[in-house]
Structures are given as C-alpha cells and as structure tokens.
C-alpha cells in the first residue's frame, strides 16, 4: 500500500522536498507529527491504539498522525501541522474541528527510544463541544477511547510509560503546563 508523501524536512523543521515515510525512516531524518488533545473541563480524551497500527494496545493522545504533503495551510503550502491535526481528528474520531478550535501548546523535536524516525511534533488542544464537533466514532486505528482527569492521565503516563505510545507522556506534560 502506498501512503501519501510526507514532507522531507531538515533537523530545523524546514521542508526541503517530499518522500514516502519509509524513505524518511531509512534516511534517519525527522518527520512531522500533529498530536491533538480534546478536553472537557479538567478531563482529557485518550485513545487506545488498535492492532492495525504501530504501537498497538497502548494509550495515546486523542488523535495523532504524520503530517503529509496533502495537508495544506490556509495559504496552500503543503505539510501543514494544523491541517494534519484536523484531518487526523476526523479520520480517527469522526469529529469535525476547525483551525480556530485548535490552540498550539507545544512544538518540539521528539527523539527517544521507540520513536523512529524522530518527530517534529506540534501539539494542539481543543475544547470538545459535541453539538459543534459531533459524536465520537472511532475508525479502525482506534480500539476505544476514555475520558480521564488530566492529572490522573499524566500520573498514569509518567508512572507506567510502557502503557502509552512513546510520545504521549511528554505530550501530557505539555497539556498540564498549558492548563496553568
């Protein structure tokens, strides 16, 4: 199966071309990832990754995925983080979020064991509003979802990181910082 091309980026997160994700992995270059947390009051929606994806059976952000070249900015530029966040939230959870629903709470290079290739990550948070965004309908990449108190989710991720996708514990720490 051929996946969409992803941005070929530098270590400074500048787009210099495009390639298949497999090529990016072979070159050992970083990729772009958009992660989204949906929140309601002081709860956060986490997803359990299904057996159809990498890191199956572990908990993750509400939605996340590779930024691809078809993710266009409002100016038509490819490889856009917010566009990928919108697409992934729709694909994985069946929800319709808009750019103005997303607040950026982090942008960082994730380099650690279990992360290949390294990930330039932009992390977003959105206040979940069912009448506006719709009802959660998981696709085949998501085994299920659960709402947790944000502080309990952070404690769980920090005490049992093996129960989470490799980037989720750091992302939860950013979420807590963004809440004040």
What CATH number does domain 6-179 carry, 1.20.1070.10, 3.90.79.10, 1.25.40.10, 3.40.50.410?
3.90.79.10
pLDDT band at 116 (very low <50, low <70, confident <90, very high): confident
What are the two backbone dihedrals, phi and then psi, of residue 12, each rounded to the nearest 5 degrees? -100, 10
Q: Which residues pair with 145 in a beta bridge?
A: 47
Check if the beta carbon of residue 82 is closer than 8 Å to that of residue 105: no
Q: Where are the beta strands (DSSP E) in 22-179?
A: 31-40, 43-49, 59-60, 63-66, 103-110, 119-127, 142-149
**Length reported for the chain:** 180
Q: What is the pLDDT of residue 180?
A: 78
Window from 18-27, 70-79, 124-133, 144-153 with minimum mean pLDDT: 18-27
- List phi, psi (to 5°) of 46: -110, 150
Computed over every residue of the chain, the mean pLDDT equals 93
In 26-71, where do the E strands start and end? 31-40, 43-49, 59-60, 63-66
| Top-ranked range on mean pLDDT: pick from 20-24, 109-113, 114-118 | 20-24
For residue 100, the 8-state DSSP code is G
**Arithmetic mean of pLDDT, 39-49:** 95
Which secondary structure element, helix H or strand E, spans residue 97, and what is its range?
none
Distance, C-alpha 40 to centroid of its chain: 18
Domain assignments of the chain as residue spans, ordered by start: 6-179
16-33 average pLDDT score = 91
Distance of CA 63 to the CA centre of its chain: 5
């Amino acid at each position: 199966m051929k996946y969409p091309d992803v941005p070929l980026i530098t270590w400074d997160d500048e787009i210099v071309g495009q390639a298949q994700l497999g090529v990016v992995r072979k070159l050992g270059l970083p990729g772009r990832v958009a992660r989204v947390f949906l929140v309601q009051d002081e709860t956060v929606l986490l997803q359990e990754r299904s057996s159809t994806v990498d890191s199956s059976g572990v908990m993750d952000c509400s939605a996340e995925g590779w930024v691809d070249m078809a993710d266009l900015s409002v100016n038509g530029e490819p490889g856009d983080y917010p566009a990928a966040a919108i697409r992934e939230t729709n694909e994985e959870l069946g929800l319709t979020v808009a750019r103005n629903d997303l607040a950026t709470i982090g942008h960082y290079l994730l380099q650690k064991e279990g992360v290949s290739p390294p990930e330039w990550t932009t992390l977003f948070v959105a206040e979940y509003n069912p009448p506006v965004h719709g009802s959660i309908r998981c696709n085949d990449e998501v085994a299920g979802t659960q709402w947790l108190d944000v502080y309990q989710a952070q404690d769980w991720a920090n005490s049992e990181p093996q129960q989470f996708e490799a980037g989720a514990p750091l992302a939860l720490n950013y979420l807590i910082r963004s809440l004040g």
